[in-house]
Chain A
Amino acid sequence: MPPVLETRDLTIRFGGHVAVDSVSCAFHAGTLTAIVGPNGAGKTTYFNLMSGQLTATSGTTMLDGEDISTLGAAGRAQRGIGRAFQITNLFPNLTVAENVRLAVQARGKAAASLFSLWSRHRDWIDKADHYLEQVNLAGVRDTVAAALPHGDKRKLEVAIMMALEPRVFMFDEPTAGMSVDEVPVILDLIQKLKDEGTKTILLVEHKMDVVRSLADRIVVLHNGRLVADGEPAAVIASPVVQEAYLGQAPKAEAAHV
């Protein structure tokens, strides 16, 4: 099967700093790929390049074999690339329900309708409530997003992406800063998505036990370069990852295990 999402020699330079350096990688439907690497490795930047928040200095991004490098974030979202952000990125003065409903609406036919009443689009409301229940936020649906505690904000962040019903899910440290009893809600959700068997899931995650339990494959970024890619057990055991996580520079060659 051809990959759903693929990058070829994707590179971005911030001044002299190369944050993502010639990364080529393909992601397939029905798989969950974990992207790991130390702080500042370029994981979020790599995500931003694929979902269109940033424009690459060089290289290409392909969706279903089609070059989407010139497409903006909105165009990519419309084609089914969903993104949840590491730094929560909500509509702070709108309610929780409104936040999610906006995501549902984005996929709806009457998304830009001028004279219909927003409150009368029952199907959007119901679907939004469905996703709120999935992340245990139904109880705070009428709370303003800015007033939520951190853990709930992270859940809302995920619910917004879920409500977009994308084909590609990009989770950027979805459980960071969450309390231990909240984490399983998100992990179960990701597991369920994975069990559907048709979605392309990308997950940036620091917690190795999470990665080990969820990932079909691990990609390691270090200093913007792809330094390892393969089966979770093998990648975790590989010296290049051990060294990267100890914070030392890896050997020059990328290890393909």
Chain B
Amino acid sequence: MLNSLLSGDYPKSRVLSGVLVAILVGLAFAPFLFSGAAAINTAAKICIFIVLVASYDLLLGYTGIVSFAHTMFFGIGGYGVGLGLYAFGASWGVLAIGILIALMVAVVLAFLIGLLSLRVRAIFYAMITLAVASAFLILATQFSEYTGGEDGRSFSVPPVLRPGFRLFEAPVFGVTINGRILAYYLVFISAVVLFLLALRVVNSPFGRVLQAIRENDMRAEALGYRVVYYRTVANCLAAAMAVLAGAMSAIWLRYTGPDTTLSFAIMLDILLMVVIGGMGTMYGAVVGATLFIVAQNYLQKLMGTASAATEGIPLLPKLLHPDRWLLLLGVLFVLSVYFFPTGIVGRLRGEKR
């Protein structure tokens, strides 16, 4: 059972297993364990980014494709759901059609980018994805009549997912089960299912060919694997998964806009999460996304406290000012890459490189 669920790909480290179980339990019971909107927001964001980062790991970690277009697919998912619900009203049918259209657009786009450019050298491929993603960002902000431009679009979700909805009259374990909590569980369960699916794909015969291509594409070709075909399919799969992450994000936020889905800042975050977590491990996505988002949300508070505590000492309070959190994160990132080149997961598994 567990073997099938995890596709035989166990964490292979006791500490890592513990960390993963803790994250799973934390996310599964987040509405009951943590109080306040901020905490559940953080938990939902972690779920969404686990899916997004896992899909990116399929590309970067498993296939060795460097793409900067991943937030574009995330955005297509967000806009597909958002614009659909905005224009045609908050029903499950519209939601489903929005996701379906977004999936089709993304897969066609990923297919085209793949076919046109996966034959070229990796660096050119990265440049092409960067150009396409920039073009998409510009389109999304320029066509403001349809997309809401820079402001994005706020919209309603189906009534069951709204704050006003009550599943039960009485609270459960002291928590009122409202539409927001249902929306959270929709996001959480989607994340679990998509992550396990991704784990299955990387442990399938197809997934092993992707690793072979990452390791030595010329030899993979010499064995009879059409590398362009495999890379293109991997591209489409990763794009589809990013679309679903985008849809989850839109449902949760009830908003879609360039800053929450398309921006290059998010692309950078994804890269950091996958590298910190450990490329080519899938579990790295869970650890990386959780750590990064928790740090993003709580580092600033922590730094505020530290800054106040070091009042009077020269320079330190300034360095620890909450506005410098990115600086500190950057330092942490450099240190982690330096000391754990295989990421946290690689480190916990005791791999040397």
Say whether B223 contacts A106, CB under 8 Å: yes
Say whether A160 contacts B223, CB under 8 Å: yes
B117 at interface by CB-CB < 8 Å:
no
Q: How large is the interface on B (under 10, 10 to 19, 20 to 34, 35 or more residues)?
A: 20 to 34
CA distance A221 to B8 in the complex (A): 51
B212 at interface by CB-CB < 8 Å:
yes
A40 at interface by CB-CB < 8 Å:
no
Residue on B nearest A107 in the bound complex, by CB: B224
Residue on A nearest B353 in the bound complex, by CB: A93
CA distance A94 to B211 in the complex (A): 8
CA distance A114 to B233 in the complex (A): 10
The minimal Cβ–Cβ distance linking A155 to chain B, given in whole angstroms, is 16
- List residues of B (222-254) whose CB comes within 8 Å of A's CBs: 222-227, 230, 233
Q: A112-B205, A118-B207, A118-B208 are known contacts. Are A74 and B225 too (CB-CB below 8 A)?
A: yes
Set B201, B208, B220, B221: member contacting A72, Cβ < 8 A = B221
Say whether B222 contacts A51, CB under 8 Å: yes
Q: A78-B224, A102-B223 are known contacts. Are A119 and B212 too (CB-CB below 8 A)?
A: no
Set B8, B206, B222, B230: member contacting A89, Cβ < 8 A = B222
Say whether A77 contacts B215, CB under 8 Å: no
Set A92, A111, A113: member contacting B216, Cβ < 8 A = A92
Set B204, B216, B222: member contacting A116, Cβ < 8 A = B204
Q: A92-B216, A94-B212 are known contacts. Are A113 and B206 too (CB-CB below 8 A)?
A: yes
A110 at interface by CB-CB < 8 Å:
yes
Q: Which of B205, B206, B226 has the most CB of A within 10 A?
A: B205
Set B7, B8, B206, B215: member contacting A112, Cβ < 8 A = B206
Say whether A119 contacts B8, CB under 8 Å: yes
Set A85, A112, A120: member contacting B209, Cβ < 8 A = A112
CA distance A111 to B220 in the complex (A): 12
The minimal Cβ–Cβ distance linking B63 to chain A, given in whole angstroms, is 13
Say whether B225 contacts A106, CB under 8 Å: yes
Say whether B208 contacts A102, CB under 8 Å: yes
Say whether A94 contacts B215, CB under 8 Å: yes
Q: A112-B209, A114-B201, A117-B203 are known contacts. Are A91 and B225 too (CB-CB below 8 A)?
A: no
Inter-chain pairs besides A74-B221, A74-B227, 17 sampled, C-beta below 8 Å: A73-B218, A73-B221, A73-B222, A77-B222, A77-B224, A85-B222, A89-B216, A89-B222, A90-B215, A91-B212, A94-B212, A98-B208, A102-B208, A111-B209, A111-B225, A114-B206, A117-B203
Pull 26 A–B residue pairs with CB atoms less than 8 Å apart, ordered by A. Answer: A52-B222, A53-B222, A72-B226, A74-B221, A74-B222, A77-B222, A85-B219, A85-B222, A89-B216, A89-B222, A90-B215, A94-B211, A94-B212, A94-B215, A102-B208, A106-B223, A106-B225, A107-B224, A111-B225, A112-B206, A112-B230, A112-B233, A117-B7, A118-B203, A119-B203, A120-B8
